[in-house]
Amino acid sequence: MENKRKTGKKYEDIAAQYLIENGYRIIEQNFYTYYGEVDIIAENEGFLAFIEVKYRKSEKYGSPFEAINSRKMKNIRNSARYYIYSKGISQMKPVRFDVIAILGDNIELIKNAF
């Protein structure tokens, strides 16, 4: 059985590469706060994007999108607020929450997912 952290890191790296190929500039990966972790923080189209990466081998236990519940969204938002504050980023900077869902070998990016 593969280690979940190793698997997560592998697919976060795949997601980061996908984002770079699609015009994103990666600022940080695995930003940890009291509220939880933001997988990827990047800039794209003038936005500061906080990106959640979800991988599923199959839909046996649901789609990758279904794994992002309201509690997870709240924690990512709170982590984003902390990041903006701690880095001294202007509150006028536009912010977006994106999701990369990886199902098997398929990658789907949803901008402004929540």
pLDDT of the residue at 2: 60
Higher pLDDT, 85 or 5: 85
- Inter-CA distances, 58 with 13, 28, 55, 61, Å: 19, 28, 9, 7
Report the distance separating Cα 96 and Cα 24, nearest Å. Answer: 13
pLDDT of the residue at 9: 86
Would the pLDDT of 1 be above 70?
A: no
Report the distance separating Cα 85 and Cα 40, nearest Å. Answer: 17
Report the distance separating Cα 79 and Cα 94, nearest Å. Answer: 16
Higher pLDDT, 57 or 96: 96
Handedness of CA 93, 51, 99, 81 (dihedral sign): negative
Q: What are phi and psi of 44, to 5 degrees?
A: -160, 130
pLDDT tens digit string along 11-45? 999 999 999 999 999 999 999 999 999 999 999 99
Neighbours of 3 (CB within 10 A): 8
- Beta strand 106-110 with 95-103 is antiparallel
pLDDT of the residue at 97: 98
3-state secondary structure at position 2:
coil
pLDDT tens digit string along 58-97? 777 778 888 899 999 999 999 999 999 999 999 999 999 9
pLDDT of the residue at 65: 84
pLDDT band at 7 (very low <50, low <70, confident <90, very high): confident
